[in-house]
């Protein structure tokens, strides 16, 4: 394909050393949004160079997490290790051109000199011992059998290094704070700081969007681009997401609660999760929190509105319901209420199947499916997580639903209900036609005849028919459950809770 020079090319290069956590998920999402917004391309590259820590399982988990989020890539996934030879070749080229040199200092020597320099002059970093070795000095060190690393020769003709970050603005550091950094280890392995540049160049990346923890790598990497005479991409760093204690989120320390999988398994809609993640460190300049479709977010998203301050990600794995940021739950609930019913049904299907509650008749268009969708529409108004449909909403799909003990205690304890409930069931059994309007008329007339407050009977009927103290309007509940289930459950509740 011909290369369009105006085409935006972004990338997501995760290291496969753990699950996809919320911070990397956000980096991937921002890149994806930018590619969609500008008709660009997203390159996926697995940075598996660290053989000791990279695993196949992690690569799979990352790809699965991205797929679940709906993040698609246009190229890749490439493996960084497939290009190891190329990374070494670039290191050699840098060395040959004098932009890099061999350093024979041993770790012990380095440590000793660093200590001394820090004590005497308050300096740190590599002191340049091997920067200007003569060929003879080099040969002597090799003859001693010393191994070497390759260091980049940082230019010393400038007072500072700077670049313009698309998020943080001008980034400038005094030149002497950038030491001659290592680009190839003593075992011949190129380091991230080099491989990443070589790969981004080959993949023709022209905008690098990544976590703010890489801001100072960027200074070094730009020097490599310049030394190679390669075009330098734009850089935009995004602030970190911190845990509730304001520490950097790490998969190892926080376990699964910070992973994408956790949200999937706890009943998040994938796009609602993306919506929440996008708002960790970005807003459109208004109070808007809900973007029901990817299109809406693509339209609104812009790197220039990414915040420069780290965002805090609140969660509480010990809390069964509000295990994560309340804002995340609120956004998921808004999506559950707001997306087309067909889509919601598709997301719910595995949840129903796991409970043995999926009716194959719901697969095909027809009356059964219409009724199912209408039920979803009724009950979704109060739900926060997909699992709520088969737990809180189980009564709509099965007779063996649980009764919330608090609801029973509060709503099914007045002794007069022992007699009222069977009588109500009998009255409702005769209502024609069975709909919200007619059941309401019948119930209210019943209460008036008996001289009881409708609230008493309505609240009791709600718990009797659904097991819950709250839910949709009771007459809609009756209409939705149907005559048979409604009357049977009201009568059964009298027996069960009053022994009558
Ligand atoms: N593999 C690096 C990481 O996961 C990529 C950083 C970058 O985007 O350059 O942190
Ligand atoms: Zn040295």
Q: What are phi and psi of 139, to 5 degrees?
A: -60, -40
* Cα separation values, 312 from 243, 279, 324, 325, 448, Å: 6, 11, 12, 10, 55
Residue whose Cα lies nearest atom 4 of ligand 1: it is 14
Q: Rounded to an integer, what distance in angstroms lies between the CA atom of residue 260 and that of residue 266?
A: 10
Predicted TM-score of the model (pTM): 0.93
In this structure, the answer to whether residues 392 and 464 fall within a common structural domain is no
Counted residue by residue, the chain has a size of 500
Beta bridge partners of 10: 42
Asked if the model's pLDDT at residue 499 lies above 90, the reply is: no
Residue 113 lies in a domain: yes
Other beta carbons within 10 Å of 44? 23
Residue 248 lies in a domain: no
Other beta carbons within 10 Å of 187? 7
Residue 3 lies in a domain: no
Give the pair of three-digit tokens for residue 172.
């400038």
> Taking Cα atoms as reference points, which of 295, 329, 328 lies closest to residue 311?
328
User: pLDDT by residue (tens digit) across 416-429?
Assistant: 999 999 999 999 99
Whole-number Å distance, alpha carbon 263 to ligand 1 midpoint, is: 23
Q: Contact, 493 vs 462, CB < 8 A?
A: no
What CATH number is associated with residue 455? 1.10.10.350
What CATH number is associated with residue 298? 1.10.1160.10
In this structure, the answer to whether residues 140 and 238 fall within a common structural domain is no
Q: Rounded to an integer, what distance in angstroms lies between the CA atom of residue 412 and that of residue 468?
A: 11
What CATH number is associated with residue 69? 3.40.50.620
The ligand whose atoms approach the alpha carbon of 240 most closely is 1
Residue with tokens 């709509």: 396
Residue 247 lies in a domain: no
In this structure, the answer to whether residues 383 and 426 fall within a common structural domain is no
The domain boundary, picked from 396, 419, 444, lies at 396
Q: Rounded to an integer, what distance in angstroms lies between the CA atom of residue 4 and that of residue 498?
A: 77
How much is the pLDDT for 252?
A: 58
The ligand whose atoms approach the alpha carbon of 102 most closely is 2
Q: Contact, 168 vs 215, CB < 8 A?
A: yes
Residue 218 Cβ inside 6 Å of ligand 1? The answer reads: no
Q: What are phi and psi of 234, to 5 degrees?
A: -80, 155
Sequential DSSP letters for 164-229: EETTTEEEEEEGGGS---EEE-TTSPBPHHHHHHHHHHHTT--EEEEEGGGHHHHHHHHHHHHHHT
Asked if the model's pLDDT at residue 159 lies above 90, the reply is: yes
In this structure, the answer to whether residues 145 and 269 fall within a common structural domain is no
Asked if the model's pLDDT at residue 2 lies above 50, the reply is: no
- The larger pLDDT score, comparing residue 360 to residue 326, is at 360
Instruction: Name the domain count of the chain.
Output: 4
How much is the pLDDT for 250?
A: 65
Residue 215 Cβ inside 6 Å of ligand 1? The answer reads: no
Task: Please state, rounded to an integer, the average pLDDT across all residues of the chain.
Answer: 94
Residue 1 lies in a domain: no
The domain boundary, picked from 396, 417, 442, lies at 396
In this structure, the answer to whether residues 419 and 457 fall within a common structural domain is yes
Q: Rounded to an integer, what distance in angstroms lies between the CA atom of residue 5 and that of residue 75?
A: 17
Whole-number Å distance, alpha carbon 28 to ligand 1 midpoint, is: 11
Residue with tokens 């649980």: 402
pLDDT confidence band for 258 (50 / 70 / 90): confident
User: pLDDT by residue (tens digit) across 352-364?
Assistant: 999 999 999 999 9
The domain boundary, picked from 329, 362, 396, lies at 396
In this structure, the answer to whether residues 168 and 47 fall within a common structural domain is no
How much is the pLDDT for 256?
A: 72
Residue of 79, 196, 219, 222 to test ligand 1 pocket, by largest number of atoms within 8 Å of CB: 196
Domain residues for 110? 91-184
The ligand whose atoms approach the alpha carbon of 46 most closely is 1
User: pLDDT by residue (tens digit) across 115-143?
Assistant: 888 888 777 789 999 999 999 999 999 99
Q: Taking the mean position of all CA atoms in its chain, how far away is CA 303?
A: 18
Residue 15 Cβ inside 6 Å of ligand 1? The answer reads: yes
> Which residues, in sequence order, are CB contacts of 102 under 8 Å at separation 6+?
95, 130, 133, 138, 148, 149, 150, 151
Residue 379 lies in a domain: yes
Asked if the model's pLDDT at residue 1 lies above 50, the reply is: no
Element holding 10 (H helix, E strand):
strand 9-12
> Taking Cα atoms as reference points, which of 371, 344, 382 lies closest to residue 472?
382
Per-residue DSSP letter, 9: E
* Cα separation values, 36 from 40, 97, 148, 169, Å: 6, 40, 45, 24
Asked if the model's pLDDT at residue 251 lies above 60, the reply is: no
Q: Taking the mean position of all CA atoms in its chain, how far away is CA 48?
A: 21
Residue 71 lies in a domain: yes
In this structure, the answer to whether residues 416 and 434 fall within a common structural domain is yes
Q: At what angle do helices 483-498 and 417-429 cross, to 10 degrees?
A: 160
Residue 196 Cβ inside 6 Å of ligand 1? The answer reads: yes
User: pLDDT by residue (tens digit) across 170-225?
Assistant: 999 999 999 999 999 999 999 999 999 999 999 999 999 999 999 989 999 999 99
Q: Which ligand 1 atom is the nearest neighbour of the CA of 14? A: 4
In this structure, the answer to whether residues 64 and 200 fall within a common structural domain is yes
Q: Which ligand 1 atom is the nearest neighbour of the CA of 47? A: 1
In this structure, the answer to whether residues 419 and 386 fall within a common structural domain is no
Quick one: average pLDDT of 341-366?
A: 97
Asked if the model's pLDDT at residue 322 lies above 90, the reply is: no
In this structure, the answer to whether residues 434 and 301 fall within a common structural domain is no
Residue 419 lies in a domain: yes
In this structure, the answer to whether residues 391 and 263 fall within a common structural domain is yes
Q: Rounded to an integer, what distance in angstroms lies between the CA atom of residue 138 and that of residue 155?
A: 21
Whole-number Å distance, alpha carbon 193 to ligand 1 midpoint, is: 9
Q: At what angle do helices 270-278 and 326-338 cross, to 10 degrees?
A: 130
Q: What are phi and psi of 212, to 5 degrees?
A: -65, -15
Task: Catalogue the active-site residues.
Answer: 251
Q: Taking the mean position of all CA atoms in its chain, how far away is CA 428?
A: 49
Quick one: average pLDDT of 87-116?
A: 95
Give the pair of three-digit tokens for residue 473.
């309007």
Asked if the model's pLDDT at residue 3 lies above 80, the reply is: no
In this structure, the answer to whether residues 494 and 410 fall within a common structural domain is yes
């Amino acid at each position: 394909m011909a290369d369009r020079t105006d085409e935006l090319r972004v990338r997501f290069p995760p290291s496969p050393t753990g699950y996809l956590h919320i911070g990397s998920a956000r980096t991937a999402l921002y890149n994806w949004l930018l590619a969609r917004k500008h008709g660009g391309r997203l390159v996926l590259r697995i940075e598996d160079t660290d053989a000791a820590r990279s695993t196949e399982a992690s690569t799979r988990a990352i790809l699965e997490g991205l797929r679940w989020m709906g993040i698609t890539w246009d190229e890749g996934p490439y493996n960084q290790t497939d290009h190891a030879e190329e990374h070494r070749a670039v290191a050699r080229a840098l060395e040959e051109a004098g932009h890099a040199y061999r350093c024979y200092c041993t770790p012990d020597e380095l440590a000793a000199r660093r200590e001394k320099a820090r004590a005497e002059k308050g300096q740190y970093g590599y002191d340049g011992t091997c920067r200007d070795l003569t060929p003879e000095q080099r040969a002597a060190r090799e003859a001693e059998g010393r191994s070497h690393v390759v260091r980049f020769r940082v230019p010393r003709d400038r007072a500072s290094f700077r670049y313009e970050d698309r998020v943080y603005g001008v980034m400038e550091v005094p030149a002497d704070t950038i030491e001659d950094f290592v680009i190839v280890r003593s075992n011949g392995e190129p380091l991230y700081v080099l491989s990443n540049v070589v790969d981004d160049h080959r993949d023709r990346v022209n905008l690098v969007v990544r976590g703010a923890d890489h801001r100072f790598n960027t200074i070094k990497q730009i020097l490599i681009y310049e030394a190679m005479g390669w075009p330098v991409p734009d850089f935009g760093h995004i602030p970190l997401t911190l845990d509730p204690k304001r520490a950097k989120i790490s998969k190892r320390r926080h376990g699964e609660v910070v992973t994408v999988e956790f949200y999937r398994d706890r009943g998040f809609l994938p796009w609602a999760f993306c919506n929440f993640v996008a708002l960790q460190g970005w807003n459109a300049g208004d109070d808007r929190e809900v973007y029901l479709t990817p299109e809406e977010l693509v339209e609104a998203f812009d790197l220039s509105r990414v915040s420069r301050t780290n965002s805090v990600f609140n969660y509480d794995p010990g809390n069964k319901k509000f295990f994560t940021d309340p804002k995340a739950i609120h956004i998921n609930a808004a999506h559950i209420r707001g997306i087309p019913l067909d889509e919601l049904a598709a997301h719910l299907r595995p949840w129903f199947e796991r409970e043995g509650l999926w009716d194959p008749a719901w697969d095909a268009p027809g009356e059964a499916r219409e009724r199912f969708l209408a039920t979803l529409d009724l009950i979704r108004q109060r739900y926060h997580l997909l699992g709520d449909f088969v737990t809180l909403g189980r009564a709509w799909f099965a007779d063996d639903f649980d009764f919330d003990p608090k609801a029973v205690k509060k709503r099914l304890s007045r002794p007069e209900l022992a007699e009222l409930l069977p009588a109500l069931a009998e009255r409702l059994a005769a209502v024609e036609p069975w709909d919200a309007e007619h059941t309401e008329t019948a119930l209210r007339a019943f209460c008036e005849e008996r001289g009881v407050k409708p609230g008493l009977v309505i609240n009791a009927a709600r718990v009797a028919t659904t097991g819950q103290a709250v839910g949709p309007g009771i007459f809609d509940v009756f209409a939705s459950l149907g005559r048979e289930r409604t009357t049977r459950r009201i009568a059964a509740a009298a027996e069960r809770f009053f022994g009558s």
